[in-house]
Amino acid sequence: MTEHQKRDLVSIEDLSTEEILELFHHAEEFRQNLRDWSDVCRGTIMATLFFEPSTRTRLSFESAMLRLGGGVITAADSENSSSAKGESLADTVRVVGGSYADILVVRHPQDGAARVAGRYARVPVINGGDGAHEHPTQTLCDLYTLWKEKGRLEGLEVVLCGDLRYSRTIHSFCYALARFGANIVTMPYPGFELPEYVLLRLRRDFGVQAATAAVDDLPGIASGSNTAAYLTASKPHQLALFTNLTNVEVNRIDAIYMTRAQLERHDGESTLDYPRLTRSTLGAAAAKDARIMHPLPRVDEIDYEVDDDPRSIYFRQAELGVPMRMALMAFLLGKIQLRAQPPKVLATQRGIDGGATLRCHNERCVTNGEGVRYLDRDFRLRSSEAVGVLCCAYCEREILVRFLGDEKSRTFHAYGSPEGQAIPEPRRVHFETDSQAEAAGYRSADD
């Protein structure tokens, strides 16, 4: 492998918008004849470390590497790997990402585990899905498919339907759609709406505004009396087209993205009457030019009789995963160069040490799982006003910091106060509540 800066793909935010578009063009080149590229990664070995079941993601990556001329080693069954003996993910990737392999693809049940792999492995790491956090390569494949089908991403009306709460694919897709200026219509199964932390991030990082959406009758997934959420990252002058952005009528749909119920991450919630897309759905006027997408595997949420409809592109979506992943791996391995600039701040950079006072509130986070044994609590600053917004560097779940302590004086101040902001960075200790600060031995400066 040629010498170049190590890059990981743990979150879709690890690639700039311009890099994503440039990768689409490389994927197009690879797609023209998949058999023409066997010299690109000759002598390179990819390891797939999958601690959760997978068919398409693992095989797609393995096919992509073989078509690039590289080799593949795999640990596709956690029960037969050293993790069953208690070996940490950090130790596994340090061993495999040494002389064993030149690039790692990791799937893991704990949120944020892929970031752990990226930090400890010496070679590039690709997130093949970590808990309910993200699945960035699925998002790249989805965006690439939609871009090919519609010729653009900006301004598209994309309906997300089903389990939006636990689907890591949906979370990555939402962030990416917002970045590209697409509009999102959410039609969740009741109780499985987009998590609040996803909505918060969409609002703050991408300027997304929310409205109630009135959607034309879509039998099986929505009726005319149903309402849905409309999320738009449109520019301010475009928002004037909506009536105070309180109610948006959706009568044209560019894509319907169905998701299965993520039963492996549910806590026993009922999924009776789960949405089901049928021929009747496709007969709706709003769906006339819609593309039907699904990350697969499908269970019962799309009828088999829909497969022959030319608007159903979920199998093509899966096929396009191979050239897209070929382009991504060739890039991360330094075999192709991109002219586009990377994101301004790479997520691999260390942030704020949580020390003994802060912990991630996401119980599924790797820092509250196996990482308790060895991970530092690391947070990144999202915004800094009257209250600080920090996010876990691993799973990106946010916490609010209301007080700053001074390690030298052992006093604490309101976060946004002049006294709090005057505390030098190396001496700052972050607290969510005043009682948390007092329990740590700090006193209020007002006392």
pLDDT tens digits along 102-158: 999 999 999 999 999 999 999 999 999 998 888 999 999 999 999 999 999 999 999
Tokens of 173: 């897709």
Report whether pLDDT(263) > 80.
no
CA atoms of 272 and 184, how far apart (whole Å): 25
Structural domain boundaries of the chain?
A: 12-136+321-332, 148-313, 352-444
Number of other CB atoms surrounding residue 246 within 10 Å? 9
Lowest mean pLDDT among 26-40, 58-72, 141-155, 250-264: 250-264
Q: What percentage of the chain carries pLDDT values higher than 90?
A: 62
Cα 259 from chain centroid? 15
pLDDT computed for residue 203 by the predictor: 87
Tokens of 393: 């560097």
Give phi and psi for 130, each to the nearest 5: -125, 105
Mean per-residue pLDDT for 36-46? 96
| Inter-helix orientation angle 56-67/136-150, to 10° | 80
- Strand residue runs (E) in 182-259: 183-188, 209-215, 227-232, 247-250, 255-258
pLDDT computed for residue 243 by the predictor: 41
pLDDT computed for residue 242 by the predictor: 42
Give phi and psi for 393, each to the nearest 5: -70, -10
* Mean pLDDT over the full length of the chain: 88
Report whether pLDDT(234) > 80.
no
**What CATH superfamily is the domain 12-136+321-332?**
Aspartate/ornithine carbamoyltransferase (3.40.50.1370)
DSSP three-state, residue 406: strand
The DSSP output letter for 313 is -
Which residues on adjacent β-strands are paired with residue 177? none
Mean per-residue pLDDT for 274-288? 90
Model confidence at 221, in pLDDT bands (50, 70, 90)?
confident
- Cis geometry, peptide bond prior to residue 297 (ω within 30 degrees of 0): yes
C-alpha distances in Å from residue 59, one per residue of 93, 128, 175, 443: 20, 11, 26, 57
pLDDT computed for residue 349 by the predictor: 52
The DSSP output letter for 68 is T
Lowest mean pLDDT among 6-10, 130-134, 323-327: 130-134
CATH 3.30.70.60 for domain 148-313: no
Number of other CB atoms surrounding residue 86 within 10 Å? 9
pLDDT computed for residue 3 by the predictor: 54
Report whether pLDDT(239) > 50.
no
pLDDT computed for residue 225 by the predictor: 41
- Identical fold for domains 12-136+321-332 and 148-313, yes or no, is yes
Number of other CB atoms surrounding residue 27 within 10 Å? 24
More confident residue, 250 or 257: 257
What angle is formed at CA 60 by the lines to CA 69 and CA 90, rounded to 5 degrees?
90
Give pLDDT tens digits for 400-440.
999 999 999 999 999 999 999 999 999 999 999 999 999 99
Lowest mean pLDDT among 150-154, 246-250, 282-286: 246-250
pLDDT computed for residue 84 by the predictor: 56
**So which residues are the catalytic ones?**
56-57, 85, 107, 135
Report whether pLDDT(2) > 70.
no
Report whether pLDDT(314) > 90.
yes
Mean per-residue pLDDT for 325-354? 86
Report whether pLDDT(348) > 60.
no
Give pLDDT tens digits for 63-112.
999 999 999 999 866 565 555 567 899 999 999 998 899 999 999 999 99
CA atoms of 216 and 210, how far apart (whole Å): 18
pLDDT computed for residue 422 by the predictor: 94
Element at 89 (helix H, strand E) = helix 89-95
Q: What percentage of the chain carries pLDDT values higher than 70?
A: 90
